[in-house]
Structure 1
């Protein structure tokens, strides 16, 4: 089955529920909500509605990232080296526990880890990933990794194969290497304010047509409209 949705709610939740049956929660990346808030999200959604979520940035991003400022996260200077880049530190593992708690409350099957372009394909960073994913309790989650920056396709494939991760891509830019179910995030060609053309959505529909299971998540300024147009092409 192909699930289609948006990264975050671009419209009021009630309206969104009437059009889509899947969403990728973004607030967990900036600062996870309290469990009771996540429980309220779960209860207000239709029973057939599904959630995926983006892992807390304390796992993946350095405190130098501007996203920390947006989330109003104030990290003491002496702790700056303890966060992000999958470092095997108590702080990072605690961030995973907070992320997993919300994933459990929402009934998520998939957790998305998005690394920034500053997370380079160095030996140390790959070793950090290995240690992180080997130590945490994976339970029944599917872990999706969206790499950015200077990661070569071959290295992404190697890391995903070794660590049992789904290679998350924009399929209009690059085909995925390994991992099931397929997980696609569409950020817009050239920038967030991009609106996908009919021919591009047709191409996307052709790409997912042969998939047994997959997720197509729009993350551009016109995600709501583009997602609805794409759903029509799948019918």
Structure 2
């Protein structure tokens, strides 16, 4: 499926490639220049910021991490390596014109005092102008702690709304991963339930991230009565 088909089908696409390895800046410029007026890009932050080198996703890096520096990557560590990864992530986001950067954390990023300190240090140090930070915690984080940190650090809480509620943010940012895993196909009942989650007070982004993400997004778009086409796509945004 070509980019133009994405543009014709949905008003927003979340770029996931940026999590595994960052494309060239010229690629971001080209994608942004080719998009129609009003089209929106969001993207995931590079894994070197959020995930430690023990993550299997590091296999997709172009340049492997050296064994002696493995303890300097991921978990929002206050290291030169993490902040360099952020600088490159931010540069690509600017080239792409991304409005939102999603920081998805692994379950191993638990609510320890060290991890919380790292999170605070990172988001109070980086330039926040021109983009919205969205945080997707996973694992044993309590609702009170998530809400408090999101309020303190001005983060949008990212959730799968079929599994848990959104706790904080000037927008709602939903990422649906499938109720039982990546191969899950959302039922009509799931989509009806998703429709009831929406409220009219905040802009709401709904991004499907399962194997049949395109089909599920198109079905949901049709359920909402919006224009849908039988094309493959990664994401759907609904603003109500």
Per the normalisation by structure 1, the TM-score is 0.92
- Choose from 142, 145, 153 the match for 2:143: 153
Could you tell me how far apart the structure 1 residues matched to 2:3 and 2:107 are? 31
Shift of 1:42: 1.3
- 1:187 corresponds in structure 2 to 177
Q: Distance in 2 between matches of 1:104 and 1:158?
A: 29
Q: Of residues 41, 54, 67 in structure 2, which corresponds to 1:51?
A: 41
Task: Note the C-alpha offset of 1:156.
Answer: 1.2
Whole-angstrom distance in 2 between the partners of 1:216 and 1:191: 17
1:107 is aligned to 2:97: yes
Larger CA deviation: 164-173 vs 67-76? 67-76
SS across alignment from 1:18: helix
Matched, 1:18 2:2: no
Q: Does 1:218 align with 2:211?
A: no
Distance in 1 between residues matched to 2:193 and 2:26, nearest whole Å:
41
**Bigger relative contact order, structure 1 or 2, given CA contacts below 8 A and separation 6+?**
1
Match of 2:236 in 1: none
**Equivalent residue pairs, number:** 225
Give the equivalent residue in structure 2 for 1:86: 76
How many angstroms does 1:72 deviate by? 4.0
Alignment of 1:206 onto 2:196: yes
Q: Is the 8 A contact 2:170 2:202 kept in 1?
A: no
Q: What residue is the counterpart of 2:234 in the other structure?
A: none
By how many angstroms is 1:121 displaced?
A: 0.6
Q: Structure 2 CA distance, aligned partners of 1:50 and 1:15?
A: 14
Moved over 4 A (4+): none
CA RMSD of the aligned region, Å? 1.2
Unaligned runs of 5+ in 1: 1-10
CA distance in 1 between counterparts of 2:106 and 2:21 reads 17
**Does 1:60 pair with 2:38?**
no
Alpha-carbon shift at residue 15 of structure 1 (Å): 2.1
1:40 partnered with 2:18: no
Do structure 1's residue 126 and structure 2's residue 106 form an aligned pair? no
Partner of 1:173: 163
TM-score (norm: length of structure 2): 0.90
User: Which whole-Å CA distance do the structure 2 matches of 1:223 and 1:133 have between them?
Assistant: 30
Q: Distance in 2 between matches of 1:110 and 1:200?
A: 26
Name the SS of the counterpart of 2:167 in structure 1: coil
Counterparts of 1:113 and 1:214 in 2: how far apart (Å)? 18
The reply on whether 1:227 has 2:217 as its aligned counterpart is: yes
CA drift of 1:177 comes to 0.8
Does the residue aligned with 1:96 lie in a helix, a strand or coil? helix
Distance in 2 between residues matched to 1:197 and 1:210, nearest whole Å: 24
